[in-house]
């Protein structure tokens, strides 16, 4: 990734989405509603959306990738292979990566959205096109990162460009700091309820002191779940925390990348403000992330499974949150606690810092890194009538196994606390008598 | 390759026309031509039977919400619909439509068009002439370079013609 960012110096009422799309389209200035053609800096896809869908079309066109060095392929949905069909898809993906000389191929190393930042592939200012609906995840790094369908991705692979409509922006202003056992996931469950899931052609932009004090792992939750709001992107301006994270993961950035900020006088379609210090743990009831309530609403609902997984909910900090609750405790009888770290690096880090032993001592079963049960493909699926509480981002009917299973969504704190109690529980008030005597 | 300016009749629908109305889920296994015959039948049994090439679908807000299935746009294309005109579209439907060669036009004044009106639509100029009512309303233009793709019949056809395969 070489291209230098085009500095925007004048403060003139622009949202971050406008600045990013002006750069990507080579325009002086773009206005919401404009249809623009944009150059793609990074094209990402996984084993489900990528090579298996592209190959026949590329062959029919006699085309190759426009720039293999800008293509990222991550095998994460069908890993590890559980039958001959998934094995064949993974093999096709591997062979494609070799034949097409794909610049960045990661086979069974973790979930695509976790892999991009972990490998230092993101940089503020760039445009990322992903063949996955949670591509907005990368917006936490000041990138314009949006999800696209199969035909769109094919066009991008062949031409290196695509088109979009410059979105209006919804600004989410976060103030204050989190109380005990409250996290970014709770913010998003509130927003799914308040903003609804029908914000197509909108950019969601997060800012304010509450975002500035958040770690990158937490910021990624905000950007990731912009997808649940229906948004095209979930943007966060670049600051020192962003640049430090990218440098620590081998990426190249310079202080000039700090220009990727909205103007102070940017024009928003709508703004919403949340005081983090007043926020309680939230829970989404089956079968929609927008079906969310403060935790008190569902306390005591029995569960069979607690799942800590997915791009949004199994990063290192998510495992730390779970471990904070699980330390010295054990899961309730009859409850299975499954942990599928977002990447093998997360597993290694959690092993190195002692987190993993806390989880295992509490009775957790460690699963391979990948989309797993979140995609309804891997281990940890549900039978009819079973109830799961999960750190994932979606609880649509039938997504995690049987159509008559029930999935609650909560933060890693809430999921861990519920695993201990055997029912939906408030992590702030988990009773002391659930501690196992040393 | 289709003409830029298209003339035809308006078929008018309401808000929130979803992908199940356009391409019913339980019929998705049918071949595309057969599926198209059921397009919008749940709310208009006559539409698929009487629509002629070049006619327009005019609708309310959030046209095409629901699943990402490309058959929703393909069915309208197969029926020869000249353009879909609505004040707003669901993002995936909108992208699919253009990628599959179906012009989709954002038009705030779509509700001024009445069932059966004769329209002349120019997507590049962003102009809709309502011959029946003698008025011209504007819609968001589709830039030339995107219309080149739409007119070629969509993205894949466009790539083919550009590569000469
Ligand atoms: S973990 Fe779940 S939400 Fe994330 S990319 Fe995989 S399937 Fe999608």
| Cβ distance of A61 and B163 shorter than 8 Å | yes
- Shared domain for A398 and A316, answered yes or no, is yes
Last-in-domain residue among A259, A279, A299: A279
Residue A434, domain member (yes or no)? no
Q: Which atom of ligand 1 is nearest to the CA of A312?
A: 4
Does residue A269 sit at the B interface (CB-CB below 8 Å)? Answer: no
- Is the previous residue joined to A80 through a cis bond, with omega within 30 degrees of 0? yes
Pocket lined around ligand 1, Cβ cut-off 6 Å:
A 111, 113, 132, 134, 310-311, 371, 374-375, 392-393
Does residue A62 sit at the B interface (CB-CB below 8 Å)? Answer: yes
Instruction: Please give, rounded to a whole number of angstroms, the shortest distance from the CA of A58 to a CA of chain B.
Output: 10
Whole-number pLDDT of residue B27: 85
The token pair at A141 is: 């790094």
Residues in chain A within 8 Å Cβ distance of B68: 149
**Element of type H or E holding B136:** strand B135-138
Helical segments of A310-433, H only: 310-313, 316-326, 344-352, 355-361, 412-421
| Cβ distance of B91 and A232 shorter than 8 Å | yes
**To test the ligand 1 pocket, which listed residue (A392, A401, A407) has its Cβ within 8 A of the most ligand atoms?**
A392
Q: What is the CATH number of the domain that holds A86?
A: 3.30.499.10
Q: What is the CATH number of the domain that holds B35?
A: 3.20.19.10
The tally of domains found in chain B comes to 1
Residue A254, domain member (yes or no)? yes
Whole-number pLDDT of residue B165: 52
Residue A240, domain member (yes or no)? yes
Look up the pTM and report it.
0.90
- Shared domain for A232 and A293, answered yes or no, is no
The token pair at A396 is: 């649509």
Whole-number pLDDT of residue A376: 87
Q: What band does B135 get if pLDDT is binned at 50, 70 and 90? A: very high
Q: What distance in angstroms lies between residue A137's CA and the mean position of ligand 1's atoms? A: 11
How confident is the prediction for chain A on average, in pLDDT?
94
Asked if residues A351 and A383 have their Cβ atoms less than 8 Å apart, the reply is no
Q: What band does B164 get if pLDDT is binned at 50, 70 and 90? A: low
Residue B62, domain member (yes or no)? yes
- Shared domain for A260 and A286, answered yes or no, is no
Does residue A53 sit at the B interface (CB-CB below 8 Å)? Answer: no
Residue B96, domain member (yes or no)? yes
Residue A155, domain member (yes or no)? yes
| Cβ distance of A200 and B62 shorter than 8 Å | yes
Integer-rounded Cα Rg, in Å, for chain B is 15
| Cβ distance of A61 and B160 shorter than 8 Å | yes
Say how far apart CA B148 and CA B127 lie, in whole Å: 17
Nearest in space to A166 (alpha carbons), one of A38, A36, A39: A36
A155, A198, A232 ranked by CB distance to B155: nearest: A155
Does residue A59 sit at the B interface (CB-CB below 8 Å)? Answer: no
Last-in-domain residue among A279, A312, A333: A279
Q: Count CB-CB contacts under 10 A for residue B28.
A: 12
CA A433 to chain centre: 35
Size of interface A-B (CB pairs under 8 A): 63
- Is the previous residue joined to B86 through a cis bond, with omega within 30 degrees of 0? no
Residue B68's closest chain A neighbor by CA? A149
- Shared domain for A226 and A267, answered yes or no, is yes
- Shared domain for A298 and A267, answered yes or no, is no
Residue B37, domain member (yes or no)? yes
Is A64's pLDDT higher than 60? yes
| Cβ distance of A155 and B91 shorter than 8 Å | no
How confident is the prediction for chain B on average, in pLDDT?
92
Q: What distance in angstroms lies between residue A16's CA and the mean position of ligand 1's atoms? A: 26
Whole-number pLDDT of residue A5: 42
- Shared domain for A210 and A298, answered yes or no, is no
Q: Could you give the 3-state DSSP secondary structure of residue B31?
A: coil
Residue A436, domain member (yes or no)? no
The tally of domains found in chain A comes to 2
Residues in chain B within 8 Å Cβ distance of A57: 156
Burial class of residue A397 in the structure, from the number of CB atoms within 10 Å of its CB (0-12 exposed, 13-18 middle, 19+ buried): middle
- Shared domain for A300 and A218, answered yes or no, is no
Domain that holds residue B87: 6-160
Residue B142's closest chain A neighbor by CA? A35
- Shared domain for A275 and A292, answered yes or no, is no
Is A418's pLDDT higher than 70? yes
Q: pLDDT tens digit string along B52-103?
A: 999 999 999 989 987 778 889 999 999 999 999 999 998 889 999 999 999 9
Q: Could you give the 3-state DSSP secondary structure of residue B105?
A: strand
In the 8-state DSSP scheme, what is residue A222?
Answer: H
Q: What distance in angstroms lies between residue A393's CA and the mean position of ligand 1's atoms? A: 8
The β-bridge partners of B137 are B128
The token pair at A156 is: 């991008």
- Shared domain for A295 and A226, answered yes or no, is no
Residue A60's closest chain B neighbor by CA? B165
Say how far apart CA A293 and CA A280 lie, in whole Å: 10
Residue B39, domain member (yes or no)? yes
- Look at ligand 1, atom 7, and give the residue with the nearest C-alpha: A375
Any idea which of A66-75, A88-97, A116-125, B90-99 has the lowest mean pLDDT?
B90-99
Residue A435, domain member (yes or no)? no
CA A105 to chain centre: 19
Residues in chain B within 8 Å Cβ distance of A60: 160, 165
Whole-number pLDDT of residue A4: 40
Whole-number pLDDT of residue B4: 79
Q: Could you give the 3-state DSSP secondary structure of residue B4?
A: coil
Residues in chain B within 8 Å Cβ distance of A152: 95, 99, 155
Q: pLDDT tens digit string along A118-147?
A: 999 999 999 999 999 999 999 999 999 999
Best mutation target, B66, B95, B100, to test chain A (most A CBs within 10 A) = B95
Does residue A149 sit at the B interface (CB-CB below 8 Å)? Answer: yes
Residue B101, domain member (yes or no)? yes
Does residue A60 sit at the B interface (CB-CB below 8 Å)? Answer: yes
Is B163's pLDDT higher than 80? no
- Shared domain for A253 and A110, answered yes or no, is yes
For β-strands A336-339 and A305-308, DSSP reports them as parallel
The token pair at B138 is: 């504007």
Residue A264, domain member (yes or no)? yes
Nearest in space to B158 (alpha carbons), one of B105, B104, B99: B99
The token pair at A42 is: 């990074």
- Shared domain for A47 and A186, answered yes or no, is yes
Residue A54's closest chain B neighbor by CA? B156
Burial class of residue A107 in the structure, from the number of CB atoms within 10 Å of its CB (0-12 exposed, 13-18 middle, 19+ buried): middle
> Could you give the ipTM of this predicted complex?
0.85
- Shared domain for A171 and A146, answered yes or no, is yes
Nearest in space to A135 (alpha carbons), one of B91, B163, B126: B91
Instruction: Please give, rounded to a whole number of angstroms, the shortest distance from the CA of B87 to a CA of chain A.
Output: 12
Whole-number pLDDT of residue B69: 81
Domain that holds residue A18: 1-279
Q: What distance in angstroms lies between residue A401's CA and the mean position of ligand 1's atoms? A: 14
Last-in-domain residue among A218, A250, A279: A279
Q: E strands along A285-361, which residues?
A: 292-294, 305-308, 336-339
Q: What distance in angstroms lies between residue A310's CA and the mean position of ligand 1's atoms? A: 5
Burial class of residue A240 in the structure, from the number of CB atoms within 10 Å of its CB (0-12 exposed, 13-18 middle, 19+ buried): exposed
Q: pLDDT tens digit string along A230-282?
A: 899 999 999 999 999 999 999 999 999 999 999 999 999 999 999 999 999 99
Asked if residues A391 and A309 have their Cβ atoms less than 8 Å apart, the reply is yes
- Look at ligand 1, atom 6, and give the residue with the nearest C-alpha: A371
Measured CA distances, A348 to A311, A328, A369, A416 (Å): 16, 22, 11, 20
CA A2 to chain centre: 25
The token pair at A94 is: 């591997």
Residue B21, domain member (yes or no)? yes
């Amino acid at each position: 990734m070489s291209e230098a960012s085009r500095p925007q110096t004048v403060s003139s009422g622009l949202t971050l989405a406008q600045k990013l799309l002006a750069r990507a389209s080579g325009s002086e200035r773009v206005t919401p509603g404009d249809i623009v053609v944009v150059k793609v800096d990074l094209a990402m896809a996984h084993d489900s959306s990528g090579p298996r869908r592209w190959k026949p079309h590329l062959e029919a066109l006699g085309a190759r990738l426009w720039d293999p060095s800008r293509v990222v392929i991550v095998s994460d949905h069908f890993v590890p292979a559980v039958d001959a069909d998934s094995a064949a898809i993974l093999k096709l993906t591997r062979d494609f990566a070799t034949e097409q000389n794909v610049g960045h191929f990661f086979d069974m190393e973790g979930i695509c959205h976790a892999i991009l930042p972990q490998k230092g592939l993101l940089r503020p200012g760039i445009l990322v096109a992903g063949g996955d609906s949670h591509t907005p995840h990368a917006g936490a790094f000041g990138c314009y990162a949006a999800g696209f369908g199969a035909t769109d991705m094919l066009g991008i692979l062949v031409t290196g460009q695509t088109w979009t409509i410059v979105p209006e922006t919804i600004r989410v202003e976060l103030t204050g700091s989190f109380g005990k056992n409250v996290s970014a996931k709770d913010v998003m469950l509130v927003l799914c309820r308040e903003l609804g899931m029908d914000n197509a052609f909108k950019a969601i932009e997060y800012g304010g002191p509450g975002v500035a004090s958040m770690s990158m792992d937490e910021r990624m939750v905000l950007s990731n779940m912009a997808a649940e709001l229906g948004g095209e992107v979930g943007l966060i301006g670049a600051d020192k925390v962003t640049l430090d994270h990218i440098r620590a993961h081998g990426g190249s950035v310079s202080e000039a990348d700090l220009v990727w900020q909205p103007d102070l006088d940017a024009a928003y379609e709508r703004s919403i403000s949340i005081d983090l210090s007043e926020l309680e743990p939230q829970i989404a009831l089956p079968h929609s992330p927008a079906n969310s309530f403060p935790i008190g609403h569902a306390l005591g609902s029995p569960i069979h499974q607690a799942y800590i997984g997915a791009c949004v909910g199994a990063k290192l900090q998510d495992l730390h949150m779970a471990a904070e609750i699980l330390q010295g405790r054990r899961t309730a009888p009859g409850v299975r606690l499954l942990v599928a770290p977002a990447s093998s690096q997360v597993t290694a880090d959690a092993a190195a810092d002692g987190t993993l032993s806390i989880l295992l001592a509490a009775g957790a079963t460690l699963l391979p890194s990948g989309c797993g049960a979140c995609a309804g493909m891997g281990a940890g699926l549900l039978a009819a009538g079973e109830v799961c509480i999960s750190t994932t981002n979606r609880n649509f009917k039938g997504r995690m196994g049987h159509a008559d299973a029930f999935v609650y969504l909560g933060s890693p704190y809430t999921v861990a606390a519920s695993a201990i109690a055997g029912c939906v529980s408030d992590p702030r008030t988990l009773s002391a008598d659930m501690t196992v005597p040393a | 390759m289709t003409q830029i300016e298209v003339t035809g009749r308006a078929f008018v629908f309401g808000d929130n026309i979803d992908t199940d109305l356009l391409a019913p889920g339980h019929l998705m296994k049918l071949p595309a031509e057969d599926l198209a015959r059921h397009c919008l039948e749940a709310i208009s049994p006559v539409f698929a039977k009487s629509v002629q090439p070049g006619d327009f679908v005019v609708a309310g807000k959030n046209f095409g919400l629901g699943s990402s299935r490309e058959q929703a746009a393909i069915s309208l294309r197969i029926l020869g619909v000249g353009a879909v005109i609505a004040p707003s579209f669901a993002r995936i439907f909108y992208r699919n439509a253009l990628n599959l060669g179906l012009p989709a036009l954002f038009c705030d004044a779509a509700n001024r068009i009445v069932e059966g009106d004769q329209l002349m639509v120019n997507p590049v100029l962003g102009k809709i002439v309502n011959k029946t009512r003698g008025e011209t309303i504007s819609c968001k233009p589709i830039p030339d370079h995107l219309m080149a793709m739409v007119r070629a019949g969509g993205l894949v056809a466009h790539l083919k013609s550009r590569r000469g395969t």
